[in-house]
Amino acid sequence: MRSLLSVLSLLVAFAATVQAQDADLEQLVKDINNADKLVRLQALDGIAEQGGNANDAVAAVAAALKDSDEEVVWHAARTLGAIGEGAASAVPVLIAALDDERVKVRAYAAYALGRIGKPAMSAADRLIEIVFDEEVLVRRAALRALQLIDPPQEKTLPLVLKILEQGDASVILPALHSLAEQGKDAVPRLRNALKYEKAQYWACLVLAEIGPDAAEAVPEIQEVLKTADPHVRLEALVALGKIGAGAKAAVPAIAAIAEHDEFKDVRYAAIYALGELDTDGESRELLLKGMKSEDEFGRTICAWALAKTNPTNKELVAEAVELLVDSFKSEDVHVRQAAARAMVEFDVDREIVAPLLVKALEDKDATVVANAIAALASFGPKALQHVDDALTNKGLRHYAVRLIAKLGREADTTVPALIAVLGEQTDSPEDLEFTREAQFALSAIGPAAKDAIPVLVKGLASTDEGVAASAAYALGKMGDAARAAVPALQRAEGSDSVIIRAASVVALWQIQPGNPARRIKATSLLLKALEDERELVRAGAATMLGELGNVGERATAKLQEVRDNDAAEIVRQAAGEALKKMAS
């Protein structure tokens, strides 16, 4: 009986909740027609928060697409997208909105059609047309919508071919991104595209991005290797290398190109592909011959490929490493880049290589520096033996903290040096930038950096928004170990800066995770920060939402919207990473 009563109580409670939602929805629907624009916007956003539970509001929201105010119109379109498949009856008016002269209206109409999904199939033809819209925001939203609606291949193949053939990078690049996001599902379309000469170059680019999942396209890519255009041959070789083991059958054809192609860059691409594919060492003699070439860059990549394809042959690996070490002394920046990158690929004698990599941190070329940092990080804590000196060197300190951040918890021995150098910083722009980077390095180390809490609390009081926010972020990453910082973080909650407030609330929740109210407050602040006009603030807000984990449908929908529609790539990437974290 008690069990039955408990079930009845739950049913009553659930019914009461549903009734309350219905009452709220009824009022929100009425507010859509309010004379006050702000009330109309709040009503639309309130309906959006109910997502698939707001099907009864679809007609009223669709009617708002006729509102005289642009902001209300695109909010209405966005709300229909939040409702999703249940908004299928609004598809005709959303298709009409694709012809609106206002950019945001067209973009959010496309976004909504994509979120409605298969029931919006009738919009496919018009979406295909606006893939060529003059505004990038509209093009990106249309491509994403087509991906979600997934019309039949006979409809989309002409679109793919038209995009790839017309050569307009502003259309091609988002189209390529959209195709690559489909992964294996895009391969059949791309195999067809490889049959068309003008589409081959771009199709190979996408297949390279898809990587191992594109193995089914290897026969078509091998045919492309016969084309007269050296640029196409090069991209086909790169695609085969990125596909990896699934393209092993192409090794003989690739070796022939590496030895005989008239274009040097094509030969380089072939050697790269051999390094990725030739696990049986079939090309050993060819690569040994290449290491004796007068071509400095060719020698370097042959050494990399030889060491990578013969990892158990210590004599060959030693010979390759000796050549790579010598390549670090080259006057050619491309040779130094290749040598630094090679060090990341396989284990080498660290005593020989580490000093050269540290020296490479002083290189004027950013790619050489980035490769050197990645190679040093692969050495683990041993890479840090000279980091204390680097932190006091203004020319090297930015690279030193990047290396520390890359190593994360393994870099806990650097905490005293980081504390010391942070205590010496001024308010100059250069020092403020370094302080932000150093605090992020401490956040990567996590609880093991708890001795830095006093200096981070000092950073929290900085008048520089970035310094204060990164200090709060680092304190949060230390979890329970940062309890002493709670009062300072509570004061920072009152900051005028939305990003400092949000970072502080997130940190307080991470330090005291048993307080759900803080998580709710943090989510609300971060959603607001996603609307900020500054792209770095939006990117930071997306990253911190990812730290909070799964915080509900509203946050997920907003991050999906930002990932698909934000004008800044850094923000779209941050939103995408946050969604991955929330799903894990």
Return the DSSP state at 35: S
Helices (H), 244-384: 251-260, 264-277, 284-290, 296-309, 314-327, 333-345, 350-360, 366-377
Select from 266, 290, 306 the last residue of a domain.
Answer: 266
Amino acid present at 375:
A
Pair (93, 125) in one structural domain: yes
- Residues 6 or more apart in contact with residue 274 via CB below 8 angstroms: 251, 254, 255, 258, 283, 286, 287, 305, 309
What's the pLDDT tens digit per position in 545-565?
888 777 677 788 888 888 888
**64: buried, middle or exposed (CB in 10 Å: 19+, 13-18, 0-12)?**
buried
Pair (146, 165) in one structural domain: no
Average pLDDT for the chain: 83
Q: What are the φ/ψ torsions at residue 192 (nearest 5 degrees)?
A: -65, -40
In Å, how far from its chain's centre is CA 241? 23
Pair (216, 135) in one structural domain: no
Select from 202, 233, 266 the last residue of a domain.
Answer: 266
**214: buried, middle or exposed (CB in 10 Å: 19+, 13-18, 0-12)?**
buried
Q: Dig out the tokens for 35 from the structure.
A: 């004379």
Q: How many domains does the chain divide into? A: 3
Q: Beta-carbon neighbour count of residue 365 at 10 Å?
A: 14
Higher pLDDT, 352 or 41: 41
Pair (105, 196) in one structural domain: no
Q: Beta-carbon neighbour count of residue 92 at 10 Å?
A: 11
User: Which residue has tokens 């170059």?
Assistant: 201
d(CA 131, CA 137): 10
Secondary structure (H, E, C), 393-435: CCCCHHHHHHHHHHHHHHHHHHHHHHHHHHCCCCCCHHHHHHH
Pair (131, 178) in one structural domain: no
Pair (119, 206) in one structural domain: no
Mean pLDDT of 566-580: 85
In a domain, 242, yes or no: yes
**480: buried, middle or exposed (CB in 10 Å: 19+, 13-18, 0-12)?**
exposed
In a domain, 111, yes or no: yes
- Residues 6 or more apart in contact with residue 243 via CB below 8 angstroms: 207, 208, 211, 212, 214, 215, 217, 218, 221
Q: What share of the chain in percent tops pLDDT 90?
A: 34
In a domain, 367, yes or no: no
Nearest CA to 521 among 545, 542, 540?
545
Proportion of the chain in helix, strand, coil states, percent, rounded to 5: 80, 0, 20
325 touches 332 (CB < 8 A): no
Mean pLDDT of 375-387: 70
Pair (191, 96) in one structural domain: no
d(CA 528, CA 121): 33
- Of how many residues is the chain composed? 584
User: Which residue has tokens 């529609």?
Assistant: 565
Instruction: Print the domain residue range for 552.
Output: 465-476+496-584
207 touches 240 (CB < 8 A): no
Q: Dig out the tokens for 439 from the structure.
A: 């605090």
Helices (H), 412-534: 415-422, 429-445, 453-460, 465-477, 486-492, 498-511, 516-529
Pair (136, 77) in one structural domain: yes
What's the pLDDT tens digit per position in 185-243?
888 878 888 888 877 888 898 899 899 999 999 999 999 999 999 999 999 999 999 99
CA angle 58, 62, 64 (to 5 degrees): 125
d(CA 426, CA 287): 53
Whole-prediction pTM value? 0.54
User: Which residue has tokens 């009409």?
Assistant: 96
250-259, 283-292, 349-358, 425-434: which range is least confident on average? 349-358
d(CA 66, CA 87): 17
- CATH code at position 197: 1.25.10.10
In Å, how far from its chain's centre is CA 284? 37
pLDDT of residue 474: 92
Pair (5, 120) in one structural domain: yes
In a domain, 164, yes or no: yes
In Å, how far from its chain's centre is CA 218? 27
pLDDT of residue 14: 32
Pair (471, 544) in one structural domain: yes
| CA distances to 47, 110, 462, 472, 513 from 557, in Å | 13, 15, 34, 26, 24
Pair (90, 38) in one structural domain: yes
201 touches 235 (CB < 8 A): yes
What's the pLDDT tens digit per position in 433-489?
999 999 999 999 999 999 999 999 999 999 999 899 999 999 999 989 999 999 999
User: Which residue has tokens 């919207």?
Assistant: 561
Return the DSSP state at 453: H
pLDDT tops 70 at residue 383: no
Select from 218, 234, 266 the last residue of a domain.
Answer: 266
Pair (167, 141) in one structural domain: no
456 touches 442 (CB < 8 A): yes
In a domain, 577, yes or no: yes
Nearest CA to 316 among 328, 304, 298?
304
In a domain, 42, yes or no: yes
In a domain, 436, yes or no: no
pLDDT tops 70 at residue 153: no
In a domain, 457, yes or no: no
267 touches 258 (CB < 8 A): yes
What's the pLDDT tens digit per position in 1-30?
334 334 333 333 333 333 334 448 888 888
